[in-house]
Amino acid sequence: MKRLACLAIALMGIPAAWAGEVHVAVASNFTGPMQKLAAEFEKDTGHKAVLSFGATGKFYAQISNGAPFEFLLAADDETPARLEQEGRAVPGTRFTYAIGRLVLWSAEPGYVDARGDVLKTGDFQHLAIANPKTAPYGAAAVAVLKNLKRYDAVEPKLVQGENIAQTQQFVSTGNAQLGFIALSQVTVNGRIASGSGWIVPANLHAPIRQDALVLAKGRANPAATALASYLKSDKARGIIRAYGYEL
């Protein structure tokens, strides 16, 4: 009987021993879906994803300076490729987990028309974009304005968020009448849930290909490898698609 009790206690400890946690740097545009994915990941695998959100450019600087991140979900494909080339990531683990879409959005219903003509009328005081030097969605917004030949006209009205999350905050609080943000930030089941928006045609900017990879500090962490596999699963892809991303 005593042996059976000891065996039962040992078996109860096995899942806990297998389960671990992974420290993940996540691009701000992917906040909503990653929070959902992290919950499902823990439920399905027992592993916990500890999430930090911010601008991809700032994460690159932090990782280069030794930050303890083990996994990166970037807002572009260039940063992960650079980290891989520099030996700061596990070779062969890089993959595209989503292709982002840009939307010109206002918290006010009817403010942004279906073709984005509000950019031509100039009927706004402030237009918010993410910092194009550190946030790929900000760089995409600049490309759109230049392709529409509106950049010079609206440049005096631009206000920059440190990242795409702060950019959305500028618009949602009314500090900017409209702004370019990630479609995922205002999407529920593939539809804009509030306010008004123009989903920017993909041909007006370079594809926002978002890559992920296991960082060097996660090389020996099974939870990091498990997260990479989980993000490629049909369940995860369904969640990502529901937030307005292409795959």
Per-residue pLDDT tens digits for 131-188:
998 888 999 999 999 999 999 999 999 999 988 999 999 999 999 999 999 998 998 7
Q: How confident is the model at residue 4 (pLDDT cuts 50, 70, 90)?
A: very low
pLDDT at 2: 46
Tokens of 78: 């260039």
Sheet holding 102-106, edge to edge: 158-161, 127-130, 178-182, 102-106, 196-199
What would the pLDDT profile of 56-106 be if each residue is shown by its tens digit?
989 999 999 999 999 999 999 999 999 999 999 999 999 999 999 999 999
111: left (phi over 0), alpha (psi -120 to 50) or beta: alpha
Q: What is the pLDDT of residue 122?
A: 84
| Lookup: tokens for 188 | 């529920």
What mean pLDDT comes out for the span 22-40?
95
Which pLDDT belongs to residue 18?
Answer: 66
pTM for the model: 0.81
Structure tokens at 97: 């987990």
Q: Of the given ranges (2-11, 140-149, 184-193), which has the lowest mean pLDDT? A: 2-11
In whole angstroms, what is the distance from residue 29 CA to residue 164 CA?
Answer: 6
What pLDDT band is residue 6 in, cutting at 50, 70 and 90? very low
Residue of 36 and 190 predicted with greater confidence: 36
The partner residues of 95 in beta bridges, in order of sequence, read: 212
Query: Model confidence at 11, in pLDDT bands (50, 70, 90)?
Result: very low
Q: Which parts of the chain are beta strand (E)?
A: 21-27, 48-54, 71-73, 95-100, 102-106, 127-130, 158-161, 178-182, 187-188, 191-192, 196-199, 208-214
Query: Domain 102-199 adopts which CATH fold?
Result: D-Maltodextrin-Binding Protein; domain 2 (3.40.190)
Q: Residues 223-240: pLDDT tens digits?
A: 999 999 999 999 999 999
Of 3.30.420.40, 3.90.1150.10, 3.40.190.10, 3.30.300.250, the CATH number of 2-99+208-242 is: 3.40.190.10
Look at residue 241 in the predicted model and tell me its pLDDT. 92
Residues of the chain with CATH 3.40.190.10: 2-99+208-242, 102-199
Q: Which residue has the higher pLDDT, 11 or 6?
A: 6
- Do strands 102-106 and 178-182 pair parallel, antiparallel, or not at all (unpaired)? antiparallel
